[in-house]
Amino acid sequence: MQSQKFFTCMERRVRVRFAPSPTGALHIGGVRTALYNYLFARQHGGDMLLRIEDTDSTRFVPGAEEYILEALDWLGIGIDEGLRQKKGTKEIEAVGEHGPYRQSERREIYHQYVKQLLDSGHAYIAFDTPEELEAKRAEIPNFQYDARTRLQMRNSLIMSAEEVSELMAKGEKYVVRFKVEPNEDVHVHDLIRGEVVINSNILDDKVLYKSADDLPTYHLANIVDDHLMEISHVIRGEEWLPSAPLHVLLYRAFGWQDTMPQFAHLPLLLKPDGNGKLSKRDGDRLGFPVFPLEFHNQKDGTVSSGYRESGYLPEAVINFLALLGWHGSGDQEMYTMDELIKDFSLDRVSRSGAKFDYEKGKWFNHQYLQLRSNEELAQMFLPVLKEKLASVNSPLLSTLNAQLSTIAKVIGLTKDRVNFVPELWEQTNFFFVAPTEYDEKSLKKRWKEESPRHMQELMALLETVSEDDWHKSYEATDDNGNTVIRWHLDDVVMPWIAAHEYGVGLVMNAFRICLVGAARGPHIWEITNILGKEETLKRVNDALKIIG
C-alpha cells in the first residue's frame, strides 16, 4: 500500500489545506490547486482543510466566500475540516478543533506570535508611512527594505524603547517587519522541483503585521495557521515559490523547523494563446469561462460566466483540470474522481506551466455527456427548452413536464453530436417547432425539380399507413450480418422508390427538408416516429406550399 509506505517514512498524519482569499470568484487555477490538495489528502487517508485568508480587508468581496464553498461542493471536492457548506444547503459551517478558520477571526492568536518574534529579536516595529516608502523607492532605484537599508529608516532598530512606545501611544500607525539575516543560503526542498536555494540577500524585511487594520499579512498568518492546524504538506501555485525561503526562515524563527510542512509548488495555468498567466480577461476575450460558477461581483457589478452555467458537467471539469499539469501512470485519459485519488502522485505533476486548452475541455464534456442518462439530460435541458419555446410562443410549453419521456427520447437521438446541454436546442428544435424557413444550401443541393411531385406521391402513400404501423419497428439483419433496427415505414417506402426508380437519396433528402427544414438530423424514421403521422404529413404539406 502506497499510503502505508508514506506514513512509515513521514510518521505524520497527512493534512493539507486550500486557503483562498475571498477577493472574487475562485479562479480555475485555484480550483486545480484545491483538487490536487484534495486528491493528495484522500489518497493518503488524510484531512483536507479549508481556511479563508482574508487578511486584506480592502480587497474583500461580499459573497466570495460562499461562492468558493459552493464551487467546491459542485465539483465534489470535499472538505474535512474548516469552512464548508452544510450538507444539502448553502449554509456555511465550521468543523474541526483548530478554528476559527477565517483569519480575520484569529487576531488574538496572531498578536501572541507577533510578540514572540518581537521579543526574540526576529522582528521589529517600523513607522515608515506608505508615502515615505514610496518616496524612498522613487529616490533610490531598486530600493529594498533589508539589512542594508533598515538602519536608515524609521523603526525600533534605531529608536529608543521610550521613543517607540511614545509613538505607539500617540496612535501612530506602524507595521512589524521580519528581520532577515543577510547573506545566508536558504534551502527549500520542493516535492516537485527538488532543492531550491535562494540567498537571503534578495529577501526584504517583509511586513508581518499592520496596526492600521490590526491584521497580519499573508506570510505571518499563513505560517502560524499552518503550524497550529498541523499542516503536513503545502501544495500551492508556483507564484509562491519565490517567497518559500521567507516562509522557511519564519518557521525557523518560531522554532518550528521540525514540524515544518513539505512544500510542493504547482505549475501555473497559462493563456491559451500568447504567453502569461491565465486571467479573467482571457476568458472574456476568447469566449470561455475561467470560473467554475457564474459570479455576480457585488463590489464592481461585473458578471463572470461559469463552467456550470455554460453546461459543463462537474466530472468533466475535474477530469480536464486534473490532466492539466499532471498525467496518470499509463495512457488513461478518462478518470473518475475515485480513479484520480488512486492514481494521483506529486511525482507526475509537470514542472512547466500548462497552456489552457479549452478545446480539450469541450471534448471531455462531450465524453461525460454521453455517459449521462437521457432522463437526467432531459431534466438539465428543460430550463433551456422552456426559455426557447417561450420565445416562439409555443403551445407545447404548457405540457412540457408531461412530455419528459419524449424529450429524453429526442435527446437520446441527438446527444452524441453535442458538447454541452444547451447545444441540444440546435439539434432538437425541429422536434418541438415546425420549420418555417428552409435552409438555402440544403434546398439548392437536395430539392430538385421533381421533388414536389415525389412529395405529393409520398404523402399519398403514407396516408395509407395506419397509425399503429406508423410507429412499428423490428430487428433485422443487414448484409454484413449486423443487427439493425428496421422500420415498418422502410417496407412501405423503399419498394415504392425502387419501383419508380426515383433514387433513395433524392426522395429521402427532400422529405427530410420538409420535416427538419434542412439536410441534417437523426435517421428519418426516428423523426417521423416522434413527430407522428399527422404532424409529418402536415409538415410536408406546409413545405410544398412554401417551397413548392
Q: List residues with catalytic annotation.
A: 280
> Quick one: CA torsion of 346, 347, 351, 355, rounded to 10 degrees?
-60
> Quick one: CA torsion of 441, 446, 450, 452, rounded to 10 degrees?
-70
Among 186, 324, 377, 543, binds RNA (CB under 7 A): 324
Q: Is 130 an interacting residue with respect to RNA (CB under 7 A)?
A: yes
Give the contact letters, 31-60, x = binds to RNA (CB under 7 A), - = no: ----------------------x-xx--x-
Give the contact letters, 494-513, x = binds to RNA (CB under 7 A), - = no: ----------xx--xx--x-
Classify burial at 85, counting beta carbons within 10 Å of its beta carbon; exposed 0-12, middle 13-18, buried 19 or more. middle
- Least distance to RNA, CB of residue 140, Å: 12
Q: Which is nearer to RNA, 239 or 534 (CB)?
A: 239
Q: Which is nearer to RNA, 86 or 285 (CB)?
A: 285
Q: Which is nearer to RNA, 172 or 387 (CB)?
A: 172
Q: Which is nearer to RNA, 367 or 406 (CB)?
A: 367
**Contact between 314 and 308 (Cβ < 8 Å):** yes
| Residue 342 CA, distance from chain mean position | 21
CA-angle at 441, arms to 440 and 443, nearest 5°: 65
* Footprint (CB under 7 A) of RNA, residues 170-209: 173, 175, 193-194, 196-199, 202, 204, 207
Q: Which stretch binds RNA (CB under 7 A): 5-13, 84-92, 324-332, 391-399?
A: 324-332
Q: Which is nearer to RNA, 69 or 323 (CB)?
A: 323
- Least distance to RNA, CB of residue 132, Å: 7
Alpha helices in 80-147 (DSSP H): 107-119, 130-139
Q: Which is nearer to RNA, 23 or 404 (CB)?
A: 23
Among 112, 183, 275, 391, binds RNA (CB under 7 A): 275
What gap in Å lies between CA 91 and CA 66, rounded to an integer? 8
3-state helix, strand and coil shares in percent for the chain, rounded to the nearest 5: 50, 15, 35
> Quick one: CA torsion of 345, 350, 353, 357, rounded to 10 degrees?
-80
Instruction: Tell which residue, 534, 536, 529, has the closest CA to residue 406.
Output: 529
Reading the block at residue 126, the C-alpha cell is 517600523
Q: Is 522 an interacting residue with respect to RNA (CB under 7 A)?
A: yes
What gap in Å lies between CA 219 and CA 254, rounded to an integer? 13
**Contact between 419 and 362 (Cβ < 8 Å):** yes
What gap in Å lies between CA 373 and CA 484, rounded to an integer? 22
Give the contact letters, 465-484, x = binds to RNA (CB under 7 A), - = no: --------------------
Q: Which is nearer to RNA, 71 or 241 (CB)?
A: 241
Angstrom distances, CA of residue 442 to CA of 438, 439, 454, 512, 521? 8, 5, 17, 10, 12
- Least distance to RNA, CB of residue 343, Å: 13
Instruction: Tell which residue, 203, 209, 176, has the closest CA to residue 56.
Output: 209
The values of phi and psi at residue 362, to 5°, are: -60, -45
Q: Is 139 an interacting residue with respect to RNA (CB under 7 A)?
A: no
Among 142, 183, 399, 483, binds RNA (CB under 7 A): 142
Among 108, 300, 338, 347, binds RNA (CB under 7 A): 347
- Least distance to RNA, CB of residue 380, Å: 19
Reading the block at residue 123, the C-alpha cell is 522582528
Among 400, 443, 519, 530, binds RNA (CB under 7 A): 519
> Quick one: CA torsion of 383, 386, 391, 394, rounded to 10 degrees?
170
Instruction: Tell which residue, 209, 149, 153, 152, has the closest CA to residue 176.
Output: 209
3-state secondary structure of 270: strand
**Contact between 208 and 122 (Cβ < 8 Å):** no
Q: Is 217 an interacting residue with respect to RNA (CB under 7 A)?
A: yes
Q: Is 267 an interacting residue with respect to RNA (CB under 7 A)?
A: yes
Q: Which is nearer to RNA, 204 or 469 (CB)?
A: 204
Handedness of CA 99, 103, 108, 110 (dihedral sign): positive
Cell 444547451, located at residue: 422
Give the contact letters, 523-542, x = binds to RNA (CB under 7 A), - = no: xxx-----------------
- Least distance to RNA, CB of residue 354, Å: 3
Q: What angle in degrees, to the nearest 10, is found between the helix axes of 244-254 and 218-228?
A: 60
Among 352, 373, 405, 456, binds RNA (CB under 7 A): 352
Reading the block at residue 166, the C-alpha cell is 511614545
* Footprint (CB under 7 A) of RNA, residues 145-174: 145, 173
* Footprint (CB under 7 A) of RNA, residues 65-124: none
Q: How many residues bind RNA (CB under 7 A)?
A: 80
- Least distance to RNA, CB of residue 395, Å: 27
- Least distance to RNA, CB of residue 195, Å: 7
- Least distance to RNA, CB of residue 12, Å: 24
Tell me the residue type at 9. Answer: C
Q: Which is nearer to RNA, 152 or 390 (CB)?
A: 152
Q: Which stretch binds RNA (CB under 7 A): 18-26, 86-94, 160-168, 453-461?
A: 18-26
* Footprint (CB under 7 A) of RNA, residues 363-422: 363, 366, 416-417
- Least distance to RNA, CB of residue 409, Å: 16
What gap in Å lies between CA 136 and CA 456, rounded to an integer? 90
Q: Is 231 an interacting residue with respect to RNA (CB under 7 A)?
A: no
- Least distance to RNA, CB of residue 235, Å: 15
Rg value, the chain, Cα: 33
Q: Which is nearer to RNA, 165 or 350 (CB)?
A: 350
- Least distance to RNA, CB of residue 399, Å: 27
* Footprint (CB under 7 A) of RNA, residues 418-447: 442
Q: Which stretch binds RNA (CB under 7 A): 162-170, 356-364, 452-460, 461-469?
A: 356-364
DSSP state of 96: S
